[in-house]
Amino acid sequence: MSNSENSEKIIEIDSFSETKASESARPRKGIYLLPNLLTTGALFGGFYAVLSSFSGNYQMAAIAIFVAMVFDGLDGRVARMTNTQSDFGVQYDSLSDMVSFGIAPAIVVYGWGMTSLGKVGIAAAFVYASCAALRLARFNVQSGINSGKFFIGLPSPAAAALIAGFVWSAQSLQPSFLLSSFSAFLIALAGLLMVSNFKYPSFKQIDLRGKVPFVVILSIVMSFVVITIDPPRILFILALGFALYSPAKFVWSKFYP
């Protein structure tokens, strides 16, 4: 075989390899877009919650926040499963969380039941929003330090679930002074828990691609069944239980070391 024939075959192999490489690279760009599209869905959920509260539809506003939580829970998992994490995705997710779980819950609960409190209501809502910003900033700074098994401070989606679940549960009631005062207390408490040093369990390390015990699958199915009985109140109770878990554990350890 002549040298010219060998060189032609080498060129053909190289061109074939380049073509296959470019073809394999194209789907990766599409996969890279997927987690950011999910983040955009979470952002839209928070945006829609604000718009719904402006029109007085607080039930839809609360539901939109929970929908944003679903998208927010998916974007990170999709990015990890497809190995498409990026600095851009981290920052975009943080900004989306600020809108959906920082600004939106504060506006929704203030519009629903705290306008009658005047400056106190504004202050309570701002405490929550500012604590959410501080929580997200601290998370971004410490993301490379924490082991991933726990969160330092109440995660902003959990805090938003607490507020949205409360508003959804009580949206049909006429806010009295007592109910408005409780709303201000609850949102301020949620904000302070976000910037606390309490450790909350993280579920990010659960491997959805691996084998899981049957009990885990059964528990997930039963959880969905229980939630469907009375979604607003069950979700509120679950969020409240998660928010109080670490403080209660801390107090328990002081009395029963």
Query: Can you spell out the DSSP letters for 52-95?
Result: HHHTT-HHHHHHHHHHHHHHHHHHHHHHHHTT---HHHHHHHHH
Residues 161-196: b if buried by 16+ CB within 10 A, e if exposed = bbbbbbbbbbbeeebeeebbbebbebbbbbbebbbb
pLDDT in tens, 225-240: 888 889 999 999 999 9
Domain range summary for the chain, segments of one domain joined by + = 3-255
pLDDT in tens, 143-192: 665 656 788 999 999 999 999 999 999 988 888 899 999 999 999 999 99
Instruction: Quickly name the fold that domain 3-255 has.
Output: Four Helix Bundle (Hemerythrin (Met), subunit A) (1.20.120)
pLDDT in tens, 100-148: 999 999 999 999 999 999 999 999 999 999 999 999 999 888 766 565 6
Query: Can you spell out the DSSP letters for 107-118?
Result: HHHHHHHTGGGT
- Looking at residue 206, its pLDDT comes to 59
Q: How confident is the model at residue 23 (pLDDT cuts 50, 70, 90)?
A: very low
Overall pTM surpassing 0.85 (yes/no): no
The yes-or-no verdict on residue 256 having pLDDT over 70 is: yes
Q: Residue 156: which of 115, 107, 95, 113 has the closest Cα?
A: 95
